[in-house]
Amino acid sequence: MSTAVHTVLLVFKTDAPKAHALALEIAGWLSDVGVVTLLRESQTDPEKWPVPRGRGADPARDPDLAIILGGDGTILSEARRTRVGEMPILGINLGRVGFLTALGPKNWRPALSDVLENGFSTVTRMCLDVAVIRDGERVFFTRAINDAVVGRGTMARLVELRLEYGGEYVCDLRADGLIVATPTGATAYCVSAGGPLVHPDLGVYCVTPVCPFQTDFKPMVLPASAPVAVTILDPGADMHLTTDGQEGFPLRARDQVLVSPASRGITLVTLRGETYFEKLRRKGFVGQR
């Protein structure tokens, strides 16, 4: 089912003059073709929204589409922290890999023309609810789109962790850390640590150890029908929880990091002719170099 576009929110990366200039160019083009536009910088007050401009502007109407100019990090930040995460997202890559983005700075015009003429379709990607349980109480909670990483802090030393799935003991392991990734996040830190690429249509976790030592533990793909729990066993460990490489929380011995599927995922716009495997090839994840 395709969605028509009447109002667009444009978000551009903070302290990125090229992103700002392109956002102004796109805003002008959209206004010229009769689309109401809202323009805002990323990493600003999540509750502060710009006033819509253009013919037929209605402050009470939510945008039909969010166009984010930056890289994967900008999309992750906006989708996690603001109401952008509740609307369809179309990314224009001004960063490096840009696996969550669909367009580049040079091909946006024909793609947006097609979107305005024919509407757009979307896919919903799984997200994670991540909590820290300490002495039976929840002391931290957040949402992750790519991954939750339990990793060591400033000291370069192995730590001992316990992995459980659905309340069942899996194993204890010594490693630098452990990654619990969504299929979307499989192309991020997970694959760098030796984890597999996982098709984003699957509702699964990818659990990957970081530099395991004398531990017979290979990356695992587990159904997201039950929670994953990672417990810090090492009493002297300097450990942190990091979500999407953007938000951190210091961990203590016996803390348990509980990861479960979020009730709401992230919605990404899909363009005609683009497939998951085509994007893997284009971004250099598969194929000859």
CA 74 to chain centre: 9
pLDDT, mean of residues 258-280: 89
Q: What is the pLDDT of residue 48?
A: 62
Whether residue 145 is found in the same domain as residue 237: yes
Whether residue 37 is found in the same domain as residue 119: yes
Whether residue 100 is found in the same domain as residue 195: no
Total domain count for the chain?
A: 2
Whether residue 110 is found in the same domain as residue 134: no
Whether residue 121 is found in the same domain as residue 173: no
Whether residue 115 is found in the same domain as residue 210: no
> Does 245 reside within a domain?
yes
Whether residue 43 is found in the same domain as residue 138: no
Does position 90 have pLDDT exceeding 90, yes or no?
yes
> Does 289 reside within a domain?
no
pLDDT, tens only, 196-230: 999 999 999 999 999 888 778 899 999 999 999 99
Whether residue 56 is found in the same domain as residue 72: yes
pLDDT, mean of residues 99-127: 89
Q: What is the pLDDT of residue 166?
A: 97
Whether residue 166 is found in the same domain as residue 208: yes
Whether residue 89 is found in the same domain as residue 162: no
> Does 101 reside within a domain?
yes
Q: Which residue has the higher pLDDT, 137 or 155?
A: 137
Range of the domain at 21: 7-125+265-282
> Does 1 reside within a domain?
no
Q: What is the pLDDT of residue 132?
A: 98
**CATH number of the structural domain spanning residue 116:** 3.40.50.10330
Q: Which residue has the higher pLDDT, 170 or 42?
A: 170
Catalytic residues: 72
> Does 288 reside within a domain?
no
Whether residue 77 is found in the same domain as residue 190: no
Mean pLDDT score across all residues of the chain: 88
pLDDT, tens only, 3-62: 778 889 999 988 888 999 999 999 999 988 888 888 888 866 666 666 555 555 565 667
